[in-house]
Chains A and B, each alone.
Chain A
Amino acid sequence: MAYADLLPGEMRRKLAQKIAESETAREQAIDVMTILQGHFGYMSDEAMLAASELLAMTPLELEELATFYNFIYRQPVGEHVIHVCDSAICWMHGHESLLDHLLSRLEIRLGETTEDGLFTVLPVCCLGYCDHAPAMLVDRRIHGELTREKIDRILTKLIEESHSLPGRK
């Protein structure tokens, strides 16, 4: 268990228990990866190897799942991941110009991470918030009825929060 040893003891215990309670270990693969990517920032190779040890799956078997899903990140992502809905209803409600605004505010292209490592913007299909279109998900929290101003407010708040964290300028 060389890689799983990288995890804090408490987390390891909890994951092991979760796995033990399920019908089969692999059933927990997504949850384990979600938790590990919370810890490592993304599913780095080390994180994959740690998860594969915990789940008694080979790294390949885990990769078969990790690369299928939208919400498992095998590439480094920023502290805050913004998934912007680009499906039909949000698109009708001005998704494109809002996305342009968001990206130019952050000075990145779609799929990229800001230089300060704070934000990554990714496209996503319908979030199920069509009644509040246009919508986006920030760290799995939904924001609907987006406008440029609302996006600015959300960003400003997150930036301020991160600056007030110890260890950050």
Chain B
Amino acid sequence: MCPQVLFSNRKPGRIATMEEYRQSGGYKALSLVVGKWTGKDVCAEVQKANLRGRGGAGFPTGLKWLGVPQEGAYPRYIAANCDEMEPGTFKDRILVHADPHMILEGMVLSAYATGAEKGFIFVRPSYESGARILEREIQRARDAGYLGRNILGTDFSFHIVVHRSGGRYICGEATALLNALQGNRPNPIRPPPYPTVKGLWGRPTVVNNIETMANVPHILRNGAEWYQGLSRSSGSPGTKLFCVSGRVNRPGCFELPMGTTLREIIEEHAGGLPPGCQFKACLPGGASTRFLTSEHLDVAMDFESLAAIGHRMGTAAIIVFDHKTCLVEVTLNLTRFFARESCGWCTPCREGLPYLGDLLRRIEAGEGEEEFIPMIRTMCGHLWNAYCALAPGAASPVESLLTNFEDEVREHIRQRKCPCKA
């Protein structure tokens, strides 16, 4: 069993109580830091630990926090991102159901680091039970003095509110999330200015994924070096929550050291593929990453190693496809998902994705033409010039379908039907 940090209190079928969290060292970081360290110290420690965002982009968290202006511009806000709508990703749900106080403590610490006085947890509609848990535990933390006015008797105050989304994938994008929180249409806003300078109601705002937040208490309590030691890779410290789904025997969410190989995750932790199924490809980091083939199964799952072979960590949601699954159809499904969830702001995404979907649908239905292949390729290239990262994300699986499985696509066109279907 690998060391469990975020999941140290995870038990089947139940949620860690505040007491359990405390007994495992919870809220110690808070008493260690609040009133004793400066906010800048906290940022520095987090930066030293080289914690990188777990929401998809992998941005260094300490650096993000340091982007909050030193002077002026109060109030400031924290937005914890628990929107999680990328297909294949469910780690935030498990984390909320495992140990909600870890998230709360992480938020309080990030607020302390950046001088924020109010935080929001942005929760998607299908996580209604998570939202209730969070609300309940917020009340408990407040009663215990970990939240609210004068935390631990100091003059530091911080409040957390659970904000329920109306449900749309784009709301997870940091700037769209801020718009959604304010009751505006959730269109992204391209920085600069960054949310850390001009976020909610024009005030500095830190947006982090809740898994990112949950790492913070451990880093502060045990130090940056300890944190680095958790990892099997040199560049990406800490552990990571990996979601495995698709064609595996034991789909689920596993906390493993950064740098664990993909093969180990799939074969050992997720129990390998069911009998009679052979590995064909997987998406290593959620629906907006590229198909990864068996040739790379031994890649270490960390930011650098994946980047080295042209892949992305994304949300670390591994979706496994077996040899019987038609990847054209998978890609079509993903493309339809992105097209449907586009906010409709910019042309490439709003018009380009349905167009791509139409071409893929024709290929899958046996109406494809050879010329579709170069069309799809160029169109994917152009999607990278969209306004936000949704469309480039949507292009990723499609591009890699053509890179890795061009023959399969051509077969569809040649046979005028899907070769995977009987």
Knowing A71-B125, A88-B334, A92-B325 are in contact, say whether A126-B164 is a contact too (CB < 8 A): no
Stretch from B99-107, B243-251, B401-409 at the A interface:
B243-251
Per-position binary interface string of chain B over residues 146-173, scored 1 when its CB falls under 8 Å from any chain A CB and 0 otherwise: 0000000000000001011111110000
Output the nearest chain B residue to A68 by Cβ-Cβ distance.
B185
Output the nearest chain A residue to B324 by Cβ-Cβ distance.
A92
- The answer to whether A72 and B166 have CB atoms under 8 Å apart is yes
- A129 → chain B closest CB, angstroms: 6
Give CA–CA (A34, B127) in the complex, Å.
Answer: 15
Contact of A88 among B88, B125, B128, B163 (CB under 8 A): B88
Tell me, yes or no, whether B48 is within 8 Å of chain A by CB: no
- A109 → chain B closest CB, angstroms: 18
Knowing A23-B201, A24-B183, A131-B90 are in contact, say whether A71-B245 is a contact too (CB < 8 A): no
- The answer to whether A65 and B183 have CB atoms under 8 Å apart is yes
Tell me, yes or no, whether B290 is within 8 Å of chain A by CB: no
- Which B residues are in CB contact (< 8 Å) with A88? 87-88, 246, 287, 319, 330, 333-334, 337
Contact of A87 among B127, B337, B343 (CB under 8 A): B337
Give CA–CA (A88, B245) in the complex, Å.
Answer: 10
- B166 → chain A closest CB, angstroms: 3
Stretch from A5-13, A25-33, A146-154, A159-167 at the B interface:
A25-33
- A148 → chain B closest CB, angstroms: 20
- Which B residues are in CB contact (< 8 Å) with A64? 185
- The answer to whether B252 and A131 have CB atoms under 8 Å apart is yes
- Which B residues are in CB contact (< 8 Å) with A34? 164, 166
Contact of A27 among B181, B243, B287, B319 (CB under 8 A): B181
Tell me, yes or no, whether A125 is within 8 Å of chain B by CB: yes
- The answer to whether A68 and B166 have CB atoms under 8 Å apart is yes
- The answer to whether A27 and B126 have CB atoms under 8 Å apart is no
- The answer to whether A26 and B183 have CB atoms under 8 Å apart is yes
Tell me, yes or no, whether B124 is within 8 Å of chain A by CB: yes
Q: In which size bucket is the chain A interface?
A: 35 or more
Knowing A88-B334, A131-B251 are in contact, say whether A126-B88 is a contact too (CB < 8 A): yes
- Which A residues are in CB contact (< 8 Å) with B163? 27
Give CA–CA (A127, B124) in the complex, Å.
Answer: 9
- B57 → chain A closest CB, angstroms: 19
- Which A residues are in CB contact (< 8 Å) with B341? 125
- The answer to whether A31 and B90 have CB atoms under 8 Å apart is no
Per-position binary interface string of chain B over residues 250-294, scored 1 when its CB falls under 8 Å from any chain A CB and 0 otherwise: 011100000000000000000000000000000000010000000
Output the nearest chain B residue to A67 by Cβ-Cβ distance.
B185
Give CA–CA (A89, B183) in the complex, Å.
Answer: 31
Tell me, yes or no, whether B93 is within 8 Å of chain A by CB: yes
- A121 → chain B closest CB, angstroms: 16
- A62 → chain B closest CB, angstroms: 9
- The answer to whether B167 and A87 have CB atoms under 8 Å apart is no
- A34 → chain B closest CB, angstroms: 7
Tell me, yes or no, whether B364 is within 8 Å of chain A by CB: no
Tell me, yes or no, whether B86 is within 8 Å of chain A by CB: yes
Tell me, yes or no, whether A103 is within 8 Å of chain B by CB: no
- Which A residues are in CB contact (< 8 Å) with B337? 87-88, 125-126
Tell me, yes or no, whether A70 is within 8 Å of chain B by CB: yes
Give CA–CA (A155, B319) in the complex, Å.
Answer: 30
- The answer to whether B127 and A89 have CB atoms under 8 Å apart is no
Give CA–CA (A22, B182) in the complex, Å.
Answer: 10
- The answer to whether A133 and B251 have CB atoms under 8 Å apart is yes
Tell me, yes or no, whether A130 is within 8 Å of chain B by CB: yes
- Which B residues are in CB contact (< 8 Å) with A124? 126, 167
Tell me, yes or no, whether A157 is within 8 Å of chain B by CB: no
- The answer to whether A92 and B185 have CB atoms under 8 Å apart is no
Tell me, yes or no, whether B340 is within 8 Å of chain A by CB: yes
- The answer to whether B86 and A126 have CB atoms under 8 Å apart is yes
> Which 9 residue pairs spanning A and B have beta carbons closest together?
A69-B166, A26-B183, A130-B245, A70-B167, A126-B87, A87-B87, A131-B251, A71-B167, A127-B126
Residue pairs across A and B with Cβ atoms less than 8 A apart, 20 shown, are A27-B183, A30-B165, A69-B167, A71-B167, A86-B333, A88-B330, A89-B319, A91-B330, A125-B87, A125-B341, A126-B85, A126-B287, A128-B93, A128-B124, A130-B89, A130-B317, A131-B252, A131-B253, A140-B126, A140-B128
The interface of chain A, by Cβ under 8 A from chain B, is 22-31, 33-34, 64-65, 68-72, 83, 86-89, 91-92, 124-133, 137, 140-142
The interface of chain B, by Cβ under 8 A from chain A, is 84-90, 92-93, 118, 124-129, 161, 163-169, 181-186, 200-201, 243-247, 251-253, 287, 317, 319, 321, 325, 330, 333-334, 337, 340-341, 343
